[in-house]
Amino acid sequence: MKKLILTSCVLFGLMFTFNSNSYAQESSDILVGGGLIYGTEVEAIGIQAGGKYAFTPEISGAADFAIYFPENFDWWELNANVHYDFLAEEGMKVYGLGGLNYATMSFSVDFGEFGSASGSSSEVGLNLGGGAEFDVDFANVYTELKYVLGNADQLALSAGLRFNI
């Protein structure tokens, strides 16, 4: 499974590097940013950072890293999604998304004189959802709702800012 994820990431990166005739390079439609995220399975708020690259006027690729802050364990995830714009009007886009999710959970407990215990788990899932993006003077405000299908099923709601570079 790790080889599949690594191969997918390498291919995704090569598409960005060698796609010299792409829409994004013609219009400089590369966005980076971050925001807040809430997950229903982890039941915690986290922070998210990522980027978005437009292949065509309707299709974009997006990747992000999110780390949640629950009290008793650590949870972080990587996401690689494809966005399809269903509605694109001046100053607003509404899109559907689908992609891959890789989540890692770990914990550590110290029992004092009796020792300690720790464990971790990694899960791969599918992202399905949608979002909206609104142009403001200095950035784009986005909000997304996605469901992760897999062993770490969760509904995630995120919102933040993306800046054009």
Report pLDDT digits (tens) over 42-89.
999 999 999 999 999 999 999 999 999 988 889 999 999 999 999 989
- Strand 140-149, strand 30-39: pairing: unpaired
Residue 153, in any domain of the structure: yes
**Distance in angstroms (rounded) separating the CA atoms of residues 143 and 35:** 9
Residue 141, in any domain of the structure: yes
Residue 136, in any domain of the structure: yes
pTM of the model: 0.76
The CATH number of residue 50's host domain is 2.40.160.20
**Distance in angstroms (rounded) separating the CA atoms of residues 125 and 150:** 4
Which amino acid, one-letter code, is at 118? S
Which amino acid, one-letter code, is at 93? K
Q: What pLDDT was estimated at residue 21?
A: 43
Residue 6, in any domain of the structure: no
Q: What pLDDT was estimated at residue 140?
A: 93
Residue 143, in any domain of the structure: yes
Residue 145, in any domain of the structure: yes
Q: How distant, in Å, are the alpha carbons of 31, 78, 114, 144, 165 from that of 92?
A: 15, 26, 58, 14, 18
Residue 47, in any domain of the structure: yes
Expressed as residue numbers, the domain containing 49 is 27-99+108-164
* Structural domains of the chain, count: 1
Segments of the chain with pLDDT less than 50? 4, 6-7, 9-12, 14-27
Q: What pLDDT was estimated at residue 14?
A: 45
Residue 5, in any domain of the structure: no
Tokens of 61: 């690729």
